[in-house]
């Protein structure tokens, strides 16, 4: 890992990332830590329960955000479910581990999170629900309301950053 340029932030901003200027952690090679541990499911019990009962839904939600809306939640859910049922019965979690690991890799690269490609696939192959929950929580850290999907999140972001035009105030004072 590279050291930051002299005089800049030397630690990992972690949860303080919104308060640390972007230039502080945008140097080449910087990697953020994950905001929660892999088995920290109690921090979002609702998502943990959903993922435990139907991991394909959580995978679909995460894949829609990671793909920036190019695939819908239901398309991701269907692909994951199909792999789980057809290929998962004969090969255990290897196929879903590869598929889920690929999306975890994309998420890590996009948001500069620590980890390795091998670890991405291994985590998904051995503990798929925990990996999906961690990815869901991480997207929440970056400001996404994951169940709303990509399009609705972008609409909310656009509305929050909209600049309204207001007529200038003309001060009354001495006039010639």
The rounded mean pLDDT for the chain is 79
70 with 106: CB under 8 angstroms? no
Q: How far apart are CA 71 and CA 66, in angstroms?
A: 9
In a domain, 141, yes or no: yes
| Structural domain for 128, as ranges | 40-156
Q: What pLDDT does 20 receive? A: 47
In a domain, 18, yes or no: no
DSSP codes of every residue in the chain: -PPPPTTS--S--GGGGGGS-HHHH-STT--BPPSS-TT-GGGGHHHHHHHHH-HHHHHHHHHHHHTTTSS-HHHHHHHHHHIIIIIHHHHTTHHHHHHHHHHHHHHHHHHTBS--HHHHHHHHHH-HHHHHHHHHHHHHHTT--GGGHHHHHHHHHHHHT-----PPPPPP----
**Mean pLDDT within 38-56:** 88
In a domain, 176, yes or no: no
Greatest mean pLDDT among 28-32, 37-41, 104-108, 158-162 lies in 104-108
Residue 81: both structure tokens together: 């479910």
Lowest model confidence (mean pLDDT) among 2-6, 15-19, 26-30, 146-150: 2-6
Confidence of residue 41 (pLDDT cuts 50, 70, 90): confident
In a domain, 51, yes or no: yes
Q: How far apart are CA 22 and CA 155, in angstroms?
A: 23
In a domain, 137, yes or no: yes
Percentage of the chain with pLDDT > 70? 71
The model's pTM is 0.73
The number of distinct structural domains making up the chain is 1
Query: 32: which strand partners?
Result: 113
In a domain, 149, yes or no: yes
Greatest mean pLDDT among 22-31, 32-41, 81-90, 93-102 lies in 32-41
In a domain, 87, yes or no: yes
**Mean pLDDT within 103-108:** 94
Query: 110: which strand partners?
Result: none
Percentage of the chain with pLDDT > 90? 32
Asked whether the predicted pLDDT for residue 173 surpasses 70, the reply is no
Residues 6+ apart with CB under 8 A from 33: 12, 14, 113, 114
Per residue in 127-155, pLDDT tens?
888 999 999 999 998 889 999 999 998 99
> Ramachandran region of residue 112, left (φ > 0), alpha (ψ -120 to 50) or beta?
left
For residue 59, give the nearest of 30, 18, 88, 32 by alpha carbon: 88
Q: How far apart are CA 34 and CA 140, in angstroms?
A: 12
């Amino acid at each position: 890992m590279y050291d930051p340029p002299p005089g800049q932030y030397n630690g990992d901003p972690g949860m303080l990332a919104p308060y640390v200027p972007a230039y502080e952690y945008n140097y080449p090679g910087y990697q953020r830590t994950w905001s929660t541990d892999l088995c920290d499911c109690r921090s979002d019990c609702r998502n943990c329960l959903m993922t435990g009962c139907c991991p394909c839904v959580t995978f679909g939600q995460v894949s829609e955000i990671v793909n920036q809306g190019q695939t819908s939640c239901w398309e991701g859910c269907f692909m994951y479910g199909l792999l789980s049922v057809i290929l998962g019965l004969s090969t255990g979690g290897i196929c879903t581990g590869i598929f889920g690991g690929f999306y975890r890799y994309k998420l890590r690269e996009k948001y500069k999170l620590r980890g390795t490609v091998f670890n991405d696939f291994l985590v998904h192959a051995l503990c798929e629900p925990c990996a999906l929950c961690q990815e869901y929580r991480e997207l929440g850290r970056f400001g996404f309301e994951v169940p709303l999907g990509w399009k609705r999140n972008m609409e909310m972001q656009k509305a929050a950053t909209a600049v309204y035009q207001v007529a200038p105030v003309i001060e009354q004072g001495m006039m010639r």
